[in-house]
Chains A and B, each alone.
Chain A
Amino acid sequence: MKTNKNERILLGHGSGGKLTHELISGLFMKYFSNPHLDLHTDSAIMRAEAGHIAFTTDAFVVDPIFFPGGDIGKLAVCGTVNDIAVSGARPLWLSAAFIIEEGLPMAELERIVAGMAQEAGKAGVEIVTGDTKVVGRKQCDKLFITTAGLGVIEARHLGIGTGEKMIPGDKIIINGSIGDHGMAIMSARNELQLSSPLLSDCASLNGLIESVMKVSGNIRFMRDATRGGLSAVIGELVRGRPHGLVINEEDIPVKENVRGMCELLGFDPMYVANEGKVLMVTAAADAQKIVECMHQHEYGRDARIIGEIVPDHPGKAWLKTCVGGNRIIDLPAGEQLPRIC
């Protein structure tokens, strides 16, 4: 497709006619090309290993669509890859559906699609099917993307998603600093001038998780801490369980600029979104080895043990605060920020 600098998406690009065809072949096929997609079939047909599959979907509506450290496309790939990876599965294939607002500059769309292809390549997944719709001005905000993903999971990893094998004494690990994504969005939205740039942590974690699963067969629970932050995952992790958990606030890694901005705006980093953080519960004996393994990986340099599963206060998560007090960690209620992922 010949794109000129000022070209914009028209309603016609979603009409199913010539413009649609041009957009699909000239843009999406160009970047996403792979043997499944290139067949132009209504469904992509893949050959899977026998056993269980993991299947997930996620919609992405972030504002602004470009932010420091990523964009809506990268987010759409990473988010779905991570949802599969934290279930203990190996992500293989994605779908991508685009709802585009009339008037979106073609160059912006191209930048996003190219970034998605790059991230998918890095994560080792293929985008095998997709769809495009164009809506009139103000009927959506620039671009919404929905991705779905398929992965395969070995039988021995089946309990990781539910956490049914967790027992008191297990350690809780996070792969790095919290709150980076939410605060990067906030700084982009308000054009805050910061002395050190604040980047989203948006990343595909399947590589990191695969490395960890190689050194330990005792991962009892995993979940990515996204919307609602670390608190949301911790709240979900403990709710309705026969045991409780304790987190040490002092051990939770938070970057100085994120902390500073949270203080300034009155946010609690525990409730701020991440897009490249996984919370793991592992057997105590393996915890240190897992942290060391994470430290070798680009997305796990600041990994830490931040707490443990305890037999006391079943169903409740306690935080030991930085000044030595105790309080409950609960699910966040309402959004601290609108439209962050």
Chain B
Amino acid sequence: MIRYIDEYRNKEMVLRLAGQIREATSRSLRFMEVCGGHTMAIHKFGIPSLLPGNIRLLSGPGCPVCVTDRKFIDQAVSYARRSDVIITTYGDLIRVPGSSSTLDAEKSKGSDIRIIYSILDALAIAKQNPGKKIIFPGIGFETTTPPSAAGILKAREEGITNFYLLSSHKVMPPAMEALIDEGVEIDGYIAPGHVSTITGTSIYRDIPGKFGLGCVISGFEPLDLMQSILMLALQMERGEPKVEIQYRRAVRPEGNPKALEMIRKVFEPRDDWWRGLGILKSSGLGLREEYSDMDAEKTIPVEVEKTREDKGCRCGDILKGLATPGECKLFDRVCTPLNPVGACMVSNEGACHAWYRYRT
């Protein structure tokens, strides 16, 4: 496995690509990486220091935790406070600040909140605790939605009646389009590698034609990212923006039809809140009517506090690429990974967290 990774971290080849990028264009170009995994890799390997001054990378809204609205956390916190509820969640959600609390804080006060690594763990907990309602707050894009769908289908198949999903699952394209409508000035997208393994290329189809932006689906290693940046630079230099796949070893144009079918079977599109972007049309995924008995929102009514945003937190602008973390007044002063104000500082994949850890 390591040999396989090392091939994509070959220093000579990375430096050769850096030279080719420098030669390809002298125009000032701004590319946005949409996926949090890319943000982390770019900073971890010091990619910005390898690029010529005319090429700038911006971080976009591709970290699932970061785009999760405060309202969603408040809702999860309210559920956590009920004595008949066990919250089962992936670990990165528990430190995300809500309006006045976090799941972590509720856990320390005695709420039953369990960190799981797979939704199947949640189903097992449901079976072991028939007297409790097991709620799974589902976040993330096309990569994390299929496992949630599989969990719902399995719960139905096994007749588990005390498992509920609190869905904040989202789809990527509306956000990518909304950013451009918001006036974010970029020349192309480094499109998410993992999302694209599920969706294929069709979700980006309109972006070159409608907005004149390049779109290269990239892998996560340094050579992948450098090659993707070169491909984008060449597209822009030639004036031919299009959708291209750099990450060919994982992404097929048609995506993963089986996973897509599973998502379609369980979820339907709905308008959804995005941190910093507000409500975006058809950008979220809610459970279909036939699974509404497993929909926490519909079946377990709960009072949720009024959403309160922190003054000064620029997560919204940062997610839109309008500001860098360094331009936020709270960054590294009030807001640190130990005391995150905004969600971008919580997740490993958040732009602020990556900046904090690997400032390049």
Contact = CB atoms under 8 A, between A and B. Distances in A.
Given A266-B348, A333-B337, A327 B46 contact: yes
24 contacts: A259-B2, A260-B2, A263-B1, A266-B348, A321-B45, A321-B46, A322-B11, A323-B9, A323-B14, A323-B15, A323-B45, A323-B223, A324-B14, A324-B18, A325-B46, A325-B49, A325-B50, A325-B222, A325-B360, A326-B360, A328-B359, A330-B358, A332-B357, A334-B337
Nearest to A266: B348
A327 B11 contact: no
A99 to B, nearest CB: 21
B78 interface: no
Contacts of A327: 43-46, 49, 358-360
Given A321-B45, A322-B9, A328-B358, A334 B338 contact: yes
A255 to B, nearest CB: 10
Listed residue (B18, B44, B46, B360) with the most chain A CB atoms within 10 angstroms of its CB:
B46
Interface string A307-338: 00000000000011111111110101110000
A195 B104 CA distance: 36
Contact of A333 (B15, B48, B223, B357): B357
Interface residues of B, number: 29
A323 B50 contact: yes
A58 B254 CA distance: 56
Contacts of A333: 336-338, 356-357
A268 interface: yes
A323 B337 contact: no
A260 B2 CA distance: 6
B47 interface: yes
Given A324-B11, A325-B45, A325-B46, A263 B5 contact: yes
Q: How large is the interface on A (under 10, 10 to 19, 20 to 34, 35 or more residues)?
A: 20 to 34
Closest 3 CB pairs of A and B: A325-B46, A333-B337, A327-B46
A324 B15 contact: yes
Interface of A: 250, 256, 259-260, 263-264, 266, 268, 319-328, 330, 332-334
Chain B at the A interface: SS class: helix
B45 A322 contact: yes
Interface string B323-358: 000000000000011100000000010000000111
A332 B358 CA distance: 10
Interface in B184-228: 222-223
Contacts of B1: 260, 263-264
A105 B62 CA distance: 49
Interface in B9-59: 9-11, 14-15, 18, 43-50
Contact of B222 (A256, A268, A323): A323
B45 A330 contact: no
Contacts of B15: 323-324
Contact of B357 (A259, A324, A325, A330): A330
A264 B14 CA distance: 23
Contacts of A334: 95, 337-338
A324 B45 CA distance: 8
B349 to A, nearest CB: 9
B6 to A, nearest CB: 9
Given A263-B5, A330-B356, A333-B356, A325 B47 contact: yes
Nearest to B345: A333
A202 B336 CA distance: 31
A321 B44 contact: yes
Nearest to B222: A323
B359 A323 contact: no
A153 B50 CA distance: 47
Contacts of A321: 44-46
Nearest to A231: B357
A330 B353 CA distance: 12
A160 to B, nearest CB: 29
A319 B357 contact: no
Contacts of B5: 263
A266 B338 CA distance: 19
A315 to B, nearest CB: 13
A308 to B, nearest CB: 18
A246 B24 CA distance: 31
B41 to A, nearest CB: 11
Contacts of B50: 323-325
Contacts of A332: 357
Listed residue (A250, A325, A327) with the most chain B CB atoms within 10 angstroms of its CB:
A325
A322 B5 CA distance: 12
A323 B46 contact: yes
Nearest to A329: B358
Nearest to B332: A330
Contacts of B336: 333
A256 B5 CA distance: 12
A260 B43 CA distance: 20
Interface in B208-260: 222-223
Nearest to B40: A266
Contacts of A330: 356-359
A321 B46 CA distance: 7
A327 B46 CA distance: 5
